[in-house]
A and B are shown apart, each in its own frame.
Chain A
Amino acid sequence: MREITFREAVVEALDMALERDPRVFLLGEDIGYYGGLFQATQGLMKKYGEDRVMDSPISESAIIGAGIGSAIVGMRPIVEIMNIDFMPVCMDQLVNQAAKMRYMFGGQLKIPLVVRTTCGAGRGAAAHHAQATHAVFMHFPGLKIVTPATPHDVKGLLFTAIEDENPVLFIEDKMMYNMKGEVPEGYYTVPFGQAAIRREGKDITIVATMRMVHKALNVATELEKEGIEIEVIDPRTLCPLDKETIINSFKKTGKMVIVDEGNRVLNFGSEVASIIAEEAVEYIQAPILKVTAPHVPVPYSPVLEKEVYIPNEEKIKKAVYRVLEYA
């Protein structure tokens, strides 16, 4: 199968969505002539015109509000918030309005809205353009949260998001845009709530999100030589979360490390560990460890950002060895 980049997969999905459904339109900062900060909307304004690929003022609340309002009267908007760090600017529109409206109005409406955004450190962008705060949004009932980890999945999950009748927060790890992978040319969907078992193993389960999936896989390949068999699970969507696949894997291995680039407190891994504690306590053979960013804002200096802040293979390995001490 042909290989394209994660970025090209996003552009292709958006292109096909615009082509397939006249109700779909894009709205966001610099997505038009500029093609998106990460070039993930490249060429789309030229192809579909300014009405369907709309450059927006730098007004994050208006962007989300425009998405909500147009969605409830019949459109299928895909709006973009350039970096997940900007989400607090429009937090009310996202978590108080988009997430709650259907419930608080007794199910009278549907909000088929996709909010695309990016996350991830590694570009020297420091504290305001590099966080990975995806776990925060799990706290708000009413939002679906998608965290693709491969070019194949980003395309298929994006179609599922666009066809969903609920607000979907679609998070693209900006450090993966240049990653290549096999992507079918046509239309296909990847369902929400179905984790991918990226590698099977019987000794320990690693649950990892987005780019961390690949770091976990690197570790699994390396430790295979030492006879350690690691199972790597990519949840693909945080809400709905495929608890079953995670729990079943844990029942098999009895040991778990969670790798997630979010800050340490109330990290995605905290929720996974809590699920295991509540639903599979009798299988626990060792401490459940989290490999996360330290609990500080993203620092600028490359030494601090790349070597200390971002979880890496070394840290994952250390966690795996520590857990295996309990074998």
Chain B
Amino acid sequence: MNQKTKVINKRRKRMKLSKEMMLEMLKKMLEIRYFEEKVVDQYARGAVPGLAHLYIGEEAVAVGACMNLTKDDYITSTHRGHGHCIAKGGELKPMMAELFGKRTGYCKGKGGSMHIAAFDKGILGAMGIVGSGAPIAVGAALGVKKQKLDRVVLCFFGDGASNQGTTHEAMNFASLHKLPVVFICENNFYGISVAQHRHQAIKDIAVRAAGYNMPGVIVDGMDVLAVYEAVKEAVKRAKAGEGPTLIECKTYRFRGHHEGDPNLGLRYRTKEEMEQWKERCPIKCFKEKLIKEKIAQKKEIDEIEEDVKKRVEEAFEFAMASPFPSPEEIYDDLFA
């Protein structure tokens, strides 16, 4: 029988999580937020030498998902990849240095914002071509299965990539071989500038899972705990050899498609819509919840926030102080 699509209800009774874990989630989301706000600031000054697609607003997805992973698990990422990398353990200094094209960057300044990888952290790389990550994620899962490793691969992609043939080839292949991969679709409702209802005839991308006989799950991508729970079940299923899951996280990017998208995307979306989503800011809402439910005090949260700000500033200073590659390095690392 075919797998069904299900919706994770917000009101459903949640599993109990430790305070440490929830504060870790908050810290990671703040790292992404402040890292990228620094990029916004530097971009506006003309100091960032290339493109930057920001994740601000979508932090709950990467953090909720990656909290389920060990250091040995893998992720594949996208052009909007800073959040995935930070959530999977990517360090701020080499990430920031990479954005500025420095030799101390994760990719020695060869990749930039759209191509950050950290193989020692299980970050198999951010791919700039929309839809190109899924086949590679599935390949990594095939390698994991063949080597009988207790690992899972999370494949992040967006609503735009959900229309690429590569994504569908990958899902079919993964489900056919019951590979340990979780497809995490960040539906931010825009494929660059084209609204979801103008680029696909379905409302819920998760329904496409049925076509590959895998579970499809719809989750509130602004709720870090909801994402965490949904991915937890999928990871368990994947590691048990039961195959992939497609999890659609409904979310929203607060910035434009990339820095430099005029008026943060007002050519194709409304101010009202943007304001409504900002009300649901994953960080703001999570902080409120922690305080309201007396999980943490405001003072504790402020301390975490101050520490994150400080470390982002240190990362920036590290990047500024780092050297550029020397011209002869252009030929390095083409072949092993």
Contacts and interface: CB of A to CB of B under 8 A. Distances in A.
Given A65-B139, A92-B129, A104-B115, 15 more contacts: A57-B173, A62-B173, A65-B166, A66-B173, A68-B139, A69-B140, A72-B136, A93-B132, A93-B136, A102-B333, A104-B111, A106-B107, A106-B110, A106-B333, A108-B120
B140 A103 contact: no
B117 A69 contact: no
Contacts of A106: 105-111, 117, 333
Interface string A50-87: 01000011010110111111111111010000000000
B146 A75 contact: yes
B100 interface: no
B334 A102 contact: yes
Nearest to B141: A69
Contacts of A127: none
Interface in A92-107: 92-93, 96-97, 101-107
Given A25-B146, A105-B125, A61 B107 contact: no
B314 interface: no
Contact of B166 (A72, A92, A101, A109): A92
A92 B132 contact: yes
Interface string A100-125: 01111111111100000000000000
A97 B111 contact: no
Given A69-B142, A108-B117, A108-B119, A61 B135 contact: yes
Contacts of A64: 135
Contacts of A141: 334
Contacts of B332: 107
Contacts of B334: 102-103, 141-142
Nearest to A164: B336
Nearest to A59: B169
> Most chain-A Cβ atoms within 10 A of its Cβ — which of B105, B108, B118?
B108
> Most chain-B Cβ atoms within 10 A of its Cβ — which of A25, A71, A93?
A93
A131 interface: no
A68 B147 contact: no
Q: Give the interface size bracket for B toward A.
A: 35 or more
> Most chain-A Cβ atoms within 10 A of its Cβ — which of B106, B135, B166?
B135
B234 interface: no
B147 A74 contact: yes
Given A70-B143, A75-B147, A108-B117, A103 B110 contact: yes
B142 A70 contact: yes
A25 B147 CA distance: 12
Contacts of B108: 106-107
A71 B333 CA distance: 17
Nearest to B332: A107
Contact of B169 (A62, A75, A103): A62
A203 to B, nearest CB: 37
Nearest to B114: A104
B115 A93 contact: no
Contacts of A77: 139
B79 to A, nearest CB: 12
Given A70-B146, A96-B132, A166-B336, A59 B111 contact: no
Interface in A109-156: 109-111, 141-142, 144
Interface in B114-140: 115, 117-120, 124-125, 127, 129, 132, 134-140
Q: Report the 4 A-B pairs with minimum CB-CB distance, sorted nearest first.
A: A69-B139, A65-B135, A107-B333, A70-B143
A48 to B, nearest CB: 13
Contacts of A101: 117, 125
> Most chain-A Cβ atoms within 10 A of its Cβ — which of B106, B109, B138?
B138
B49 interface: no
Contacts of A74: 143, 147
B143 A109 contact: no
Interface of A: 25, 51, 56-57, 59, 61-62, 64-75, 77, 92-93, 96-97, 101-111, 141-142, 144, 165-166
A220 B239 CA distance: 62
Contacts of B268: none
B108 to A, nearest CB: 4
A100 to B, nearest CB: 9
A62 B170 contact: yes
Interface of B: 74, 105-111, 115, 117-120, 124-125, 127, 129, 132, 134-144, 146-147, 153, 165-166, 169-170, 172-173, 176, 332-336
A165 B336 contact: yes
Contact of B176 (A57, A75, A142, A166): A57
30 contacts: A51-B146, A59-B169, A61-B165, A62-B135, A62-B166, A65-B132, A65-B139, A65-B166, A65-B170, A66-B142, A69-B137, A69-B138, A69-B139, A69-B143, A72-B139, A73-B124, A74-B147, A75-B147, A96-B132, A103-B333, A104-B115, A106-B105, A106-B107, A108-B119, A108-B120, A109-B125, A110-B336, A111-B336, A142-B334, A165-B335
Contacts of B147: 73-75
A223 to B, nearest CB: 39
Contacts of B153: 69
Contacts of B173: 56-57, 59, 62, 66
B213 to A, nearest CB: 14
A80 B263 CA distance: 47
A54 B132 CA distance: 22
A93 B142 CA distance: 16
Nearest to B119: A108
A80 B159 CA distance: 30
A105 B111 contact: yes
B94 to A, nearest CB: 10
A28 to B, nearest CB: 13
